[in-house]
Amino acid sequence: MNRFLPNYLSLFLAIFLFSLFSTRGEVIAEQKGKNAVSFRWAFGAMVGATDDRRLVAITRDTVLKTGDRLKLLIQLKNRCFVYLFYRTAKDQINLLFPYKLELFDTGYKTGENYYIPKGKTWFELDKNVGFETFYLLASAERLHQLEAQYLKYDFTAGKEKKELAKQLLAEIRNIKRKNRKLATPAERPIAIGGNVRGDLKGEQYDFPDIDPIASEVSASNFYGKTFTIDHK
């Protein structure tokens, strides 16, 4: 019987090692799942008088004034799908990011700074005062239904457009509601900006880079945040 002992030991060792590495692999996969949504972002505003402007990070609902400037930065840590929608004071909806939905298929890279608007351009709040809302959604999977609803809204004119805007906003709220339990986000101070045909207009200014005020977000499968600007 003793001559078979080494064989049993070898078999036991092989099973043990297989179990060990399999378990380790499952833990690693689970950890990746916990951070499937991971990105840095910043929402910066230049506020104050023309000769005394200062940069502030927008981290919650806030009050801004006509003439204040806005800019956004998004940088992917993991490949996930980040959407930023902007509703004007006139209830028009614009997709600020991605610049075009085709970006998700080509040129969408981790580690790259995506500024909104691009380059050194900032948005300026115009004279159309009222409540303006930014909807930030980040998902481990593409939100195809949301994209389809936005495209339908974007290509529609006339009276039907108003109804489609309501449906689009309802879809955004529905996505956030369905994914509320999956979000479990870990945030380090947060912040937000855009390219719009509504209440914001782009102008060229030599303002500071907003990268230093960026914060990092990590979530399992989904992250959602809504900011309302009371534009005075």
> According to the 3-state scheme, what is the secondary structure of 136-204?
EEEECCCCHHHHHHHHHHHCCCCCHHHHHHHHHHHHHHHHHHHCHHHHCCEECCCCCCCCCCCCEEEEE
Please give the Cα distance from 32 to 89 (Å, whole number): 40
| Structure confidence by residue, pLDDT tens digits, 64-94 | 999 999 999 999 999 999 999 999 988 899 9
**Which of 6-20, 28-42, 100-114, 217-231 is predicted least confidently?**
6-20
Q: List C-alpha distances in Å: 133 to 16, 61, 86, 203.
A: 56, 9, 6, 21
User: What stretches of 48-155 adopt beta strand conformation (E)?
Assistant: 54-57, 62-64, 69-76, 81-87, 93-97, 113-116, 121-125, 130-139
- The predicted pLDDT at position 203 comes to 55
| Structure confidence by residue, pLDDT tens digits, 123-149 | 999 888 999 999 999 999 999 999 999
pLDDT > 70? residue 163: yes
DSSP state, residue 183: H
Give me the mean pLDDT over the 10-34 stretch: 38
- The predicted pLDDT at position 36 comes to 87
Please give the Cα distance from 137 to 125 (Å, whole number): 23
If residue 37 lies in a helix (H) or strand (E), which one and from where to where? strand 37-47
CB proximity list for 137: less than 8 A, separation 6 or greater: 82, 83, 84, 85, 143, 146, 172, 175, 176, 222, 223, 224
- The residue type of 83 is Y
Residue 30 binned pLDDT confidence (cut-offs 50, 70, 90) = very low
Return mean pLDDT, the chain.
79
